[in-house]
Chains A and B, each alone.
Chain A
């Protein structure tokens, strides 16, 4: 017996706030804009908590999955029925709690961060629009509705990356994000169509039931579908080879980077794979591809993060790297571990961005870490919350990141030799993660203040509050443990396939992970605190490697040379000159020319002389009569379209009479 939960209100409240702030925002006082912008996510969060009440316990809720279908059918064509159906199960509930909870905190933070901005109302309306689409994506009960949310968050992301649209680099970054995502979405869309072709339905539960009914079905079309879906996921979640948009997305306001480009939207790809895990489970090849993509992304992004100097770019590469971990987990079918890491990552990565934003705010907009330093005394709360987040992302016990990363590495380790390779990559990445995170920590907060950057803005309470909450979550978020977490998720993501603990293997792996994280800390400590001159020496010693990393493996340049410039050339020369100017323009010119010339020719007849008109009229009438007389039956000429019967009769009478007269 289900009481109605009114799931539709969860996305609709932010949508209402979007319209209110988007249309009226410019005329409303600032406090009202903030109230609308913050209360909508809070109300959504309250609804989610209400829905989760009693189901949040460790045991799976008795009434899940809870399905709510709108009374309005969306598409009803032939055999295809698509509804606006919302599904609340363990998976979407965890995701919703993260999205609306972290989302609400970041809205609160934004009140302080964006207070001076002239686009304040526009900012909040876009942020609420994002929440609308994100909750739609999460709640969607069929893949088509999920795609709507998927595209919508892409739109919100584009709008917010290019929020400061007067800055060309921000506008370009927005376009880059949108276009790169389009490539992934193209694959996603193909996957959706193939799914419809293979199953005849878009609804997740029906597809799962269809698959459960044919247990032997493996590979073939399922592999193709999964690879298409993976393309979409790689675009949205910034995986190789489509990750290039995320570092540039840092042009947006920092809370946007925290919410969209760290905590929620970029994890949509992971969520989508977990949501469609019944497909991936049937295709070992696709799963292996997911794992390889994830591991490679985790490693390469981490290496690029080592040498960045922009504080937000370091965090962007670390986000890509952590998303790689989640893909790795999905690839070894440890979906619950992926979602677990998604959750803890949302906490600590959002916090890292918010703390970075607090630092940037304090030093007057400076983002270059080389011009920071020695800030820890000036901003203790930011320092301590950031420390919690750094410890969490580095995987140091007992912070949240330790538990989730450990779960992923353990799950990978148990998958034979392929899994052990993945584990090794993940292990090395963990070392790199610790190095670049502590590098950031040292460069920002320790040493002597460098450059002219010095704190001159106190961070307001509206920014510190969310940071403290997220700091606590970064500390405690992992304590639930992967065992209980995956048991809870099991109805939605399939049973956790990790065999029961054999001996002390898991303990050893955990100790190794902590050791490697501490090792990373020590290396960062050595290079960035005790011997601050060493990094420059090292860079000078290995100038080739350093340049390669600093220029991000020249991937942007490679894409520019291979894809962007040829496409631009095709657009300019083939499409612009040949197709547009020559063919389309020529055709338009030809049509216009025909009309002009024939008009000039016919103009001569329009003399304005009444008698000439009359003469032509008489001539025409005479010609018609002559035609009718000589041609005989008009039907023989196929002239049935005009009613020539009277003329026809008249002609017969005339012929008969004159014929008679002649005789």
Chain B
């Protein structure tokens, strides 16, 4: 209850937006595939934060459950994604995203 009274919803949302923007920025400017991957996780957690904040604000448990789903998918994604990164590194001996550009005509 104290949280609800002390910290307004907007702060959570601002933090969430900041995290998300950080993630996007990292995704766009970083060259290393692992850093790019970590940026995705930051974006996901930014979104998660807004979910729990809204859920708390409106006493709707749906948002909290949704966060669990997101975390679960993120975990699975981490496992698969890291495996792909290792495979890519073994094949190409680099993790620079600019050089992994075969997905075109």
Enumerate chain A interface residues (CB-CB to B < 8 A).
603, 606-611, 614-615, 618, 657, 661
Of A607, A618, A657, A661, which is within 8 A of B28 by CB?
A618
The reply on B97 being an interface residue by CB < 8 A is yes
Q: List 24 A-B contacts (CB under 8 A).
A: A606-B104, A606-B105, A607-B101, A607-B104, A608-B101, A608-B102, A608-B103, A608-B104, A609-B98, A609-B101, A610-B36, A610-B97, A610-B100, A610-B101, A611-B28, A611-B98, A614-B27, A614-B28, A618-B24, A618-B27, A618-B28, A657-B9, A657-B10, A661-B10
Interface size on B, residues (CB 8 A): 16
- Once the chains are docked, how many angstroms separate the CA of A606 from the CA of B102? 10
Chain B 81-104 interface mask (CB, 8 Å, partner A; 1/0):
000000000000000011011111
A-facing residues in B17-59 (Cβ within 8 Å) = 24, 27-29, 36
* Cα-based distance from A609 to B103 in the complex (angstroms): 8
Task: Tell whether, in the assembled complex, residue B24 and residue A603 are in contact, meaning their CB atoms are under 8 Å apart.
Answer: no
Please give the distance in Å from A335's CB to the nearest CB on chain B.
77
Residues in chain B near residue A618, CB distance under 8 A:
24, 27-28
Closest beta carbon of chain B to A88's beta carbon, Å: 73
Give the complex CA separation of A603 and B104 in angstroms. 9
Shortest CB distance A536–B (Å):
82
> Nearest residue in A to B99 (C-beta to C-beta)?
A609
- With A607-B104, A610-B36, A657-B13 given, can you name 9 additional A-B contacts, CB distance below 8 Å? A603-B105, A608-B103, A609-B97, A610-B97, A610-B100, A610-B101, A618-B24, A618-B27, A657-B10
**Top-9 shortest CB links A-B:** A608-B104, A608-B101, A610-B97, A608-B103, A606-B104, A657-B10, A609-B101, A614-B27, A618-B24
Question: Footprint of A on B, CB under 8 Å?
Answer: 9-10, 13, 24, 27-29, 36, 97-98, 100-105
**A609 proximity list for chain B (CB < 8 A):** 97-98, 101
Question: Are the C-beta atoms of A615 and B104 separated by less than 8 Å?
Answer: no
Question: What's the minimum C-beta distance from B28 to chain A, rounded to whole angstroms?
Answer: 6
CA distance A615 to B100 in the complex (A): 16
A614 to B98, alpha carbons, bound, how many Å?
A: 12
A607→B101 CA distance, assembly (Å)? 8
* B28: A residues at CB distance < 8 A: 611, 614-615, 618
Complex Cα distance, B9 from A661, in Å, reads 13
A618 to B22, CA, bound (A): 12
User: Closest CB of chain B to A613's CB: distance in Å?
Assistant: 8
The complex places the Cα of A607 from the Cα of B9 at a distance, in Å, of 41
Residues from chain B with Cβ under 8 Å of A608 in the complex: 101-104
Distance to closest chain B CB from A635 (angstroms): 23
Shortest beta-carbon distance, A286 to chain B, in Å?
Answer: 72
Bound together, the chains give a CA A618 to CA B43 distance in angstroms of: 12
Return chain B residues, CB-CB under 8 Å to A607.
101, 104
Distance from B34 Cβ to chain A, minimum over Cβ atoms (Å): 13
Residues of A within 8 A of B102 (CB): 608
A residues less than 8 Å from B9 (CB atoms):
657
Q: Which residue of B lies closest to A661 (CB)?
A: B10
Question: Which residue of B is nearest A622, CB measured?
Answer: B24
Bound: A615/B98 CA distance, A: 13
Nearest neighbor of A654 in chain B, beta-carbon distance: B13
Return chain A residues, CB-CB under 8 Å to B105.
Answer: 603, 606
Per the bound structure, the CA–CA distance linking A615 and B104 in Å amounts to 16
Cα A603 to Cα B13 with chains together (Å): 38
The smallest beta-carbon distance between A221 and chain B, in angstroms, is 67
Q: Closest approach, in angstroms, between the C-beta of B94 and any C-beta of chain A? A: 13
Q: What B residues does A661 contact at CB under 8 A?
A: 10
Task: Report the Cα distance A609→B13, complex, angstroms.
Answer: 32
Chain B contacts for A614, CB-based, 8 A: 27-28
Contacts of A606 in B (CB 8 A): 103-105
CA distance A661 to B11 in the complex (A): 12
Task: Looking at the assembled complex, report how far the CB atom of A309 sits from the nearest CB atom of chain B, in whole angstroms.
Answer: 73
Q: Which chain A residue has the least Cβ–Cβ distance from B33?
A: A610
Q: Closest Cβ of chain B: how far from A1's Cβ, in Å?
A: 81
| Bound CA–CA A607/B103 (angstroms) | 8
**How near does chain B come to A659, taking the closest CB pair, in angstroms?**
12
| Cα-based distance from A614 to B25 in the complex (angstroms) | 10
A611 to B35, CA, bound (A): 13
Count chain B CB atoms within 10 A of each CB in A607, A610, A661 and give the residue with the most: A610
Q: For residue B12, give the distance in angstroms from its CB to the closest CB of chain A.
A: 12
What residues of A have a CB within 8 angstroms of the CB of B103 in the complex? 606, 608
Q: Which residue of B lies closest to A606 (CB)?
A: B104
* Shortest Cβ distance from residue B41 to the other chain A in the assembled complex, whole angstroms: 15
User: How long is the Cα–Cα vector from A617 to B102 in the complex, in angstroms?
Assistant: 19
Closest to A656 in B: B10
A639 to B104, CA, bound (A): 33
Nearest chain A CB to B4's CB is how many angstroms away?
16
Chain A residues in 8 Å Cβ range of B29: 611
Residues of B within 8 A of A657 (CB): 9-10, 13
Closest chain-B Cβ to A292's Cβ sits at a distance in Å of 75
Contacts of A610 in B (CB 8 A): 36, 97, 100-101
Q: Name the residue of chain A whose CB is nearest to the CB of B104.
A: A608
In the bound complex, how far is the Cα of B97 from the Cα of A657, in angstroms? 39
Question: With the chains together, A607 CA to B105 CA distance in Å?
Answer: 8
- Cβ distance A600 to chain B, nearest Cβ, rounded Å: 10
What's the least CB distance linking B102 to chain A, in Å? Answer: 6
Nearest A-chain residue to B30, judged by Cβ: A611
Which residue on chain A has the smallest CB distance to residue B27? A614
A615–B30 CA distance with the chains assembled, in angstroms: 12
What chain B residues lie within 8 Å of A603 (beta carbons)?
Answer: 105
The answer for the CA separation of A309 and B36 in the assembled complex, in Å, is 96
A611→B26 CA distance, assembly (Å): 10
Complex CA distance for A608 and B99, rounded to whole angstroms: 9
The CA-CA distance from A28 to B9 in the complex, in Å, is 91
Q: Nearest CB to that of B25 among chain A residues?
A: A618
Beta-carbon nearest neighbor of A658 in chain B: B10
Residues of A within 8 A of B98 (CB): 609, 611
Looking at the assembled complex, report how far the CB atom of A28 sits from the nearest CB atom of chain B, in whole angstroms: 58
